[in-house]
Amino acid sequence: AAAIPAAVYMLQDQEAHAAEMERTFIAIKPDGVQRGLISEIVSRFERKGYKLVAIKLIVPSKEFAQKHYHDLKERPFFDGLCDFLSSGPVLAMVWEGEGVIKYGRKLIGATDPQKSEPGTIRGDLAVVVGRNIIHGSDGPETAEDEIALWFEPKELVSYTNNAEKWIYG
Ligand code: ADP
């Protein structure tokens, strides 16, 4: 084993991890933006070790909100939800990392903040389901669709974060 330079092991490790990298769509809703929670929320993803690959502040139209939440169009709260999402600036982001889709949902907490564990974003920072401050894709297909809905491919930035070797080994 001594004959194989350490750099080779590192390259193999990086390649093994690269295969598991995924991206998710995360948005701070108008309530989170207005309440001044952008830095608090961004820092939780950042400190965990995920990589920010796209970010922008936009006010979505109601039609756009309806597209984003199309899965919920039969629900009684759909119209109010779309009015709410389009009522002010939303911070749209794409975060990348190993397991970020599923673990991002863990960081966010349950849909209803009354049921979110303390320590989660909604558990610590929100009180009611209609004002739960953050959105995160709920699976790989949704993540892909939502990233494509909110961002142009050229807005996604590919780069090497030099901390990655300390995060992934
Ligand atoms: P999540 O955002 O956790 O993925 P859902 O996809 O079920 O949850 O719902 C989307 C959003 O719709 C929620 O984040 C919340 O803002 C809103 N919502 C869900 N259930 C209700 C409800 N019963 N009343 C009002 N708004 C709701």
* pLDDT in the model for residue 14: 56
Q: Does 162 count as an annotated binding residue?
A: no
Which residue from 86, 115, 129 has its CB within 8 A of the most atoms of ligand 1, so it is best to mutate? 129
Q: Indicate which atom in ligand 1 lies nearest the CA of residue 138.
A: 4
Alpha helices in 25-129 (DSSP H): 30-34, 38-48, 62-68, 78-85, 100-108, 121-125
| Tokens 């070797």, residue located | 165
* 24 annotated to bind ligand: no
Q: Which residues, given as ranges, of the chain have pLDDT below 70? A: 1-19
**What is the 52 CA–ligand 1 centroid distance (Å)?**
25
pLDDT at position 20 is 80
pLDDT at 96: 98
User: How far apart are the C-alpha atoms of 117 and 113, rounded to whole Å?
Assistant: 8
Q: How far apart are CA 140 and CA 102, in angstroms?
A: 9
* Ligand 1 pocket: which of 116, 128, 132 to mutate (most atoms within 8 A of CB): 132
Number of residues assigned to the chain: 169
CA distance 68 to 114: 24
Strands, E assignment, the chain = 21-28, 51-58, 90-98, 134-136
In this prediction, residue 129 carries a pLDDT of 98
pTM of the model as a whole? 0.91
- Which ipTM did the prediction report? 0.98
Q: How far apart are CA 151 and CA 164, in angstroms?
A: 24
Dihedral class, residue 27 (left if φ above 0, else alpha if ψ from -120 to 50, else beta): beta
